[in-house]
């Protein structure tokens, strides 16, 4: 799960987490265009439980440091939309969003992030690095490989953070963004202020991952761990085992554990990034405002730590809207409320 930056002062998320502590925060087809580097037998997306929406054969393309696995839908000449998942989720968070957008004429790209599904590193010596700027660069490289100059970028968790990062570092590449849980850019330095116990408990998995025992535990109990997080993050979402199992195959990526550990350790200043990205991270550490059109969203039953919309409102300086989605919707908003998420993408595109 993505979490908010925990510094004081300029960072509004710190104020919210302290507020949560005061109230006792609980711990808690489709495929239509060619690819540059296709597999001989492209992997198919696992079938949808209950016969619902599913992706067709996935595509693969070399992009930057990665060979990226992705689903694609809609007309090749339609306006581009890139949908980004988070941890511990996968492209199936958007399996019902995608056909809605494709039917509206959008070219929809849904990539596995580094460490998930069929996305792999081109070199065995590349650092398994998940710092925020690097994941943003992955998507810019994917856009370049697919010859997409500009796209609407929408996501949740790591995907929302990446949309925010892209919007502030490369605004010319982002027509607009949809960001679940708002403004998620942070920095290791901004996460150094200790939290009171009730608030700190929301970040238990980050502290667990900071230890070698946590790494071993995550690796040994990978699927049980991530299913537990699904329940914690979306306590009112009654997903079945088949729905979870369909996404769980993405966690068997050989780089998954390394990248999850690096992401959360880097956030706490316990793992180094790469020096070649220092200039980008310095810009992000200043918490710059998003100037492109944006819609932020929240599920009313989000069990992951998140700030109120008022805490990050001043981080969005362009055309803007906020939407609270009721009905027990939790952290995995695109999969729990696909129509509402798709409508946000359509609406922000017309701002």
Give the helix/strand (H/E) hosting 319. none
DSSP string, 102-153: HHTT-EEEEEPPTTSTT-EES-TTS-----HHHHHHHHHHHHHHTT---EEE
Distance separating alpha carbons of residues 166 and 173, to the nearest angstrom: 8
- pTM comes to 0.87
Distance separating alpha carbons of residues 67 and 70, to the nearest angstrom: 10
The one-digit pLDDT tens for each residue of the chain (351 residues) are 754 444 333 343 433 333 333 333 333 333 333 333 334 345 655 555 544 678 989 999 999 999 999 999 999 999 999 999 999 999 999 999 999 999 999 999 999 999 999 999 999 999 999 999 999 999 999 999 999 999 999 999 999 999 999 999 999 999 999 999 999 999 999 999 998 998 899 999 999 999 999 999 999 999 999 999 999 999 999 999 999 999 999 999 999 999 999 999 999 999 999 999 999 999 999 999 999 999 999 999 999 989 899 999 999 999 999 999 999 999 999 999 999 999 999 999 999
- The helix-helix angle for 278-285 and 132-145 (nearest 10°) equals 110
Q: What region, left, alpha or beta, does residue 298 occupy, with left being phi > 0 and alpha being psi -120 to 50 degrees? A: beta
| CA distance to 63, 117, 159, 233, 240, per residue, from 227 (Å) | 30, 17, 19, 10, 11
Give the count of beta carbons closer than 10 Å to the beta carbon of residue 47. 12
Beta bridge partners of 324: 298
- Quick: pLDDT tens for 267-289: 999 999 999 999 999 999 999 99
How do 107-111 and 66-73 pair as beta strands? antiparallel
Please, what's the largest Cα pairwise distance for the chain?
A: 56
Identify the three-state secondary structure at position 80.
strand
Main-chain phi, psi angles of 69, to 5 degrees = -90, 135
């Amino acid at each position: 799960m993505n979490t908010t930056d925990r510094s004081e002062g300029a960072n509004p998320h710190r104020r919210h987490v302290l507020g949560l502590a005061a109230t006792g925060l609980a711990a808690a087809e489709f495929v239509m265009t060619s690819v540059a580097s296709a597999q001989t037998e492209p992997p198919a997306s696992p079938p949808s439980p209950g016969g619902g929406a599913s992706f067709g054969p996935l595509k693969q393309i070399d992009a930057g440091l990665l060979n990226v696995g992705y689903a694609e839908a809609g007309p090749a000449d339609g306006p581009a939309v890139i949908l980004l998942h988070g941890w511990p989720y996968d492209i199936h968070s958007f399996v019902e969003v995608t056909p809605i957008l494709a039917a509206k004429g959008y070219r929809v790209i849904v990539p596995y992030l580094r460490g998930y599904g069929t996305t792999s590193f081109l070199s065995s010596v590349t650092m398994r690095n998940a710092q925020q700027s690097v994941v943003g660069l992955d998507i810019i490289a994917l856009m370049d490989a697919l010859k997409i100059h500009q796209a609407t970028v929408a996501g949740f968790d790591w995907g929302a953070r990446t949309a925010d990062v892209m919007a502030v570092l490369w605004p010319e590449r982002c027509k607009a963004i949809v960001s679940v849980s708002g403004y998620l850019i942070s920095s290791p330095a901004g996460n150094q202020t200790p939290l009171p116990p009730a608030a700190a408990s929301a970040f238990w998995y980050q502290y667990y991952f900071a230890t070698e025992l946590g790494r071993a535990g995550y690796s040994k109990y990978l699927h049980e761990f991530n299913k537990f997080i699904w329940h914690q993050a979306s306590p009112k979402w009654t997903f079945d085992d088949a729905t979870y199992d369909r996404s769980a195959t993405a966690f068997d990526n050989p780089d998954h554990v390394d990248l999850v550990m690096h992401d959360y350790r880097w956030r706490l200043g316990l793992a180094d990034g790469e020096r070649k990205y220092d200039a980008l991270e310095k810009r992000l550490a200043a918490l710059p405002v998003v100037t492109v059109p944006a819609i932020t969203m929240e599920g009313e039953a989000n069990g992951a730590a998140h700030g109120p919309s008022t805490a990050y409102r001043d981080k969005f300086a362009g055309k803007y809207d906020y939407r609270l989605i009721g009905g027990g919707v939790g952290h995995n908003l695109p999969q729990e409320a696909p129509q509402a998420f798709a409508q946000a993408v359509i609406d922000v595109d017309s701002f």
